[in-house]
């Protein structure tokens, strides 16, 4: 595999190059009047107005749409990495504001297709064989996005099988690596100058983006994700995953079975095929929650274009480039949070947050529970069609911000997917009651976790963890003893080679970046002011 995960090692990028790329991004945002929007000019100090004018704000796009809509257009013009960043920002109304987040939800990852002959060349290079050896029929693209496009084909087997063939765009890896490097550079700089940026863990946000993108840039990883989800959900009678054709799958090519199903976005077509849209909505929500809570591994791009209903009435998901994982702690946190809200037990929800270490201990549980009640009661007092789980989670994270809760990177994709899933369900059934649909899955998870077998399994895992720590105790004790001796003698000592390397690295960094960082600090300060105004 190419070192695609090396995209995250952006610390080695040239800071001067990163600065000028970041400057280009700022200018693009300014030209779309998305950096320092004209709606806020009256609130700005004089120096910020001068900066706005110097960056070229107020051009032809300045009067078109809301600030959020202009930001979405600017991100689309900057390229696919920025589009994906905007999609993640849409899950963070605490950072960008609710209106901007709503506008960013409309960002679409659509691109014109590249020529079929280029796709055929990618396939031939990937397998070292002519396309005709693999596929007896290879059609024109049926869908195209920023990273890849999909063709319908038939295999060269006897009898032939209809398949979907996904092919990466030529040169897309280098484009993403460059843009992610710039975004990571800007995030690290913002965290240096802003405590708010550190609390929001912007570098972790970019890392989440890079890691999810890395999976999309190696189609073998997507194939493995599809295979894993199929294995984990094998017993679910209402959900399935297309089979992977491993013999025709490579780093830049993915082949899966073709799905003959009705897209969930076509409500009338679902009815015509004998499917109940209201039941399909229930299946979508429960499938997502089962994947999240039971498996800790979920499809994180469940928009209507990726969901179909087959002839047997099963929900079929496609496109496994973006997957989410939740560790055991996060799964328990989410399950108990949802169960607590379902029972309207706000004290328990507050205790779950405190036990997980998400809320600092100096805040009383009762005070935090009171804040949670202010979230839950208005939502549960509404009609079913207005009882939004996505809205509750959004308000929950807005509230935890006031209690100094740090953003949890594992929950970013979960938040995003919950918003999308709920929107899809409401499109199928405007009166959809998401809480009643979720209740059996959450309660089943709680019962399974509290069962004696689960308790024994947790105890065994705890013993194993203690055993691993015990194995390290001799080394830890030796290191502690050595450090204590050094301190007694007047301080810790570094190995000469280590000291020399640190000095060389410090000299090299200072030589290039000291002046640059002063310039960037000013730019980052402007950016922080802008987002606070938004």
Residues with active-site annotation: 301
Classify each residue of 140-169 as buried b or exposed e, where b means 16 or more C-beta atoms within 10 Å of its C-beta: ebebbbbbbbbbbbbbeeeeeeebbbbbbb
Residue 288 · residue 416 · CB < 8 Å: no
Four-point Cα dihedral 74, 76, 78, 80, nearest 10: 150
Residue 212: C-alpha distances to residues 205, 309, 409, 445 (Å):
11, 26, 12, 27
- 438 closest CA partner among 314, 281, 295: 281
Q: What is the DSSP string of 329-357?
A: HHHHHHHHHHHHHHTT-HHHHHHHHHHTT
User: What's the rounded Cα separation, in Å, for the pair 12 and 3?
Assistant: 14
Alpha-carbon distance of 181 to 330, in angstroms, equals 29
| 405 within 8 A of 353, measured Cβ to Cβ | yes
What is the chain's length? 534
Helical residues (DSSP H) of 201-260, grouped into ranges: 202-216, 219-232
Q: At 248, list the tokens.
A: 């025709």
- Neighbouring CB atoms inside 10 A of 115's CB total 10
List the structure tokens of 3: 């070192």
Distance CA 58, CA 42 (A): 14
Q: How far apart are CA 312 and CA 343, in angstroms?
A: 35
Whether residue 159 has a cis bond before it, omega within 30° of 0: yes
Rg (CA), the chain: 26
- 195: which residues sit within 8 A by CB, 6+ positions away? none
| SS3 of residue 323 by DSSP | strand
């Amino acid at each position: 595999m190419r070192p695609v995960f090396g995209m995250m090692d952006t610390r080695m990028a040239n800071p001067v190059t990163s600065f000028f790329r970041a400057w280009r991004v700022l200018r693009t945002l300014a030209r779309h009047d998305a950096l320092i929007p004209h709606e806020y000019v009256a609130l700005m100090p004089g120096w910020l107005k001068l900066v706005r004018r110097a960056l070229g704000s107020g051009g032809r796009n300045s009067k078109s749409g809301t600030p959020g809509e202009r930001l979405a257009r600017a991100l689309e013009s900057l390229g696919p990495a920025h589009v994906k960043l905007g999609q993640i920002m849409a899950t963070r109304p605490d950072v960008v504001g609710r209106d901007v987040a709503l506008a960013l939800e409309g960002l679409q990852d659509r691109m014109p297709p590249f020529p079929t002959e280029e796709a055929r060349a990618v396939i031939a290079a990937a397998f070292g064989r002519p396309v005709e050896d693999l596929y007896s029929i290879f059609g024109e693209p049926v869908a195209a996005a920023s990273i890849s496009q999909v063709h319908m084909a038939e295999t060269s087997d006897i009898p032939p099988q209809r398949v979907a063939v996904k092919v990466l765009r030529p040169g897309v890896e280098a484009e993403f690596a460059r843009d992610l490097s710039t975004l990571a550079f800007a995030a690290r700089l913002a965290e240096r100058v802003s405590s708010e940026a550190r609390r929001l863990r912007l570098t972790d946000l970019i890392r989440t983006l890079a890691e999810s993108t890395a999976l999309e840039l190696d189609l073998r990883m997507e194939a493995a994700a599809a295979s894993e989800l199929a294995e984990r959900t094998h017993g679910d009678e209402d959900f399935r995953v297309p089979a992977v054709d491993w013999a025709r799958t490579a780093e830049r090519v993915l082949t899966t079975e073709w799905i003959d199903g009705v897209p969930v976005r076509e409500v009338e077509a679902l009815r015509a095929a004998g499917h109940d849209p209201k039941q399909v909505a229930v299946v979508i929500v429960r499938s997502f929650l089962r994947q999240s809570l039971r498996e800790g591994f979920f499809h994180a791009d469940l928009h209507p274009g990726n969901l179909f209903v087959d002839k047997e009435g099963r929900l079929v998901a496609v496109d496994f480039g973006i997957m989410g994982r939740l560790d055991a702690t996060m799964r328990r946190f989410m399950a108990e949070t949802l169960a607590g809200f379902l029972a309207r037990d706000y004290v328990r929800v507050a205790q779950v947050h405190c036990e997980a270490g998400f809320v600092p201990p100096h805040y009383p549980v009762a005070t935090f529970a009171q804040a949670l009640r202010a979230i839950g009661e208005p939502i549960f007092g509404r009609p079913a069609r207005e009882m939004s789980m996505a809205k509750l989670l959004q308000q929950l994270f807005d509230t935890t911000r006031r209690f100094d809760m740090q953003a949890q990177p594992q929950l970013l994709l979960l938040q995003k997917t919950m918003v999308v899933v709920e929107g899809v369900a409401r499109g199928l059934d405007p009166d959809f009651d998401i809480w009643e649909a979720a209740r059996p899955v959450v309660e089943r998870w709680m019962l399974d976790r509290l069962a004696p077998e689960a308790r024994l399994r947790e105890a065994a895992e705890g013993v194993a963890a203690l055993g691993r720590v015990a194995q390290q105790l001799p080394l830890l004790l030796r290191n502690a003893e050595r450090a204590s001796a050094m301190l007694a003698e007047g301080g810790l000592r570094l190995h000469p080679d280590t000291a020399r390397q640190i000095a060389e690295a410090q000299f090299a960094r200072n030589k290039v970046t000291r002046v640059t960082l002063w310039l960037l600090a000013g730019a980052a300060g402007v950016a922080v002011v802008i987002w606070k105004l938004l």
